[in-house]
Structure 1
């Protein structure tokens, strides 16, 4: 198995675990601080995993940057009010786009994106990947 294939396999596991965990928390603790923070932590992990699935040879730093950029863009999109409106019409939208802007979410996204990148970089055969 090549390093890219191993990395993709790990990313697929991370994606499945993050979605499963997120849905479980959402069902067990809907609309609580716990589900909010958990979602803010799990969303960038899912995005990170999806980026790795698409580009398994990208360095961890690049994947972290793309992940954080995506998460910040989605959070900024909430300022338009469209995600909240769409979620009212189709509730599962809230799981992908959220509803209302919260600057704290950006800080949590940054921690999760950097954390995912560090775990990725230091569990890969080439440890110089982060830089």
Structure 2
């Protein structure tokens, strides 16, 4: 696995790219699918930020925390405080939203789950490559080979 500093740096770069993608979707795609994608990307961003802080935490745990944070923000919208802040402070709506929607919770779950799955795959692959070899035998290999000089059957 890459060093913790390298992992953090990669997570920060991914977070920046996610912000760019999320703002692009927010500004260019005016549909239900665009809103869903934007919400999913919000969950991906929260996943990446949690992973930067808890760099050693398991991907599934980070995904669960990311979803919980997103759900808490969404439920906070039921109070009306985010709507008030969004109307009075520029940019707050991008972070806190303004109105509660159940479908946002689905998008957050999808985003957090996808981020956790991708992160787990990357970490598994990095762990396999750090052992100096393949994690599965190539075609034709059925198992370990006997040491050189061992008589074959």
Bin for the TM-score computed over the shorter chain: 0.7 to 0.9
Alpha-carbon distance, 1:7 to partner: 2.1
After TM superposition, list the pairs within 5 Å mapping 1:112-123 onto structure 2.
Answer: 112-123=111-122
Partner of 1:95: 94
Query: Paired residue for 2:22?
Result: 22
Give CA-to-partner distance per residue, 1:72-122, whole Å, 9 cap, x none: 000000000111111011131110001111011111111110110010011
Q: C-alpha distance in 2, partners of 1:74/1:102?
A: 11
1:57 deviates by: 0.6
Structure 1: gaps of 5 or more residues: none
> TM-score, normalised to structure 2's length?
0.75
**3-state DSSP class of the match of 2:100?**
coil
Distance 2:111 2:26 in 1: 18
Return the index of the structure with the highest Cα Rg.
Answer: 2
The aligned counterpart of 1:9 is: 9
Residues 7, 52 of structure 1: 8 Å contact kept: no
For normalisation by structure 1, the TM-score amounts to 0.87
Q: Following superposition of structure 1 onto structure 2, how do residues 1-131 of structure 1 map, counting pairs within 5 Å?
A: 2-29=2-29, 32-124=31-123, 125-126=126-127
For structure 2, the residue ranges without an aligned partner over 5 or more in a row are 129-153
Aligned residues: 126
Note the alpha carbon deviations across 1:25-60, whole angstroms, 9 max, x for none. Answer: 22334x643442222111011101111111111111
Counterpart for residue 144 of structure 2? none
Structure 1 stretches of 4+ moved >3 Å: none
C-alpha separation in 2, matches of 1:28 and 1:119: 26
Aligned-pair Cα RMSD in Å: 1.8
Check conservation: 2:37, 2:107, Cα contact below 8 A: no
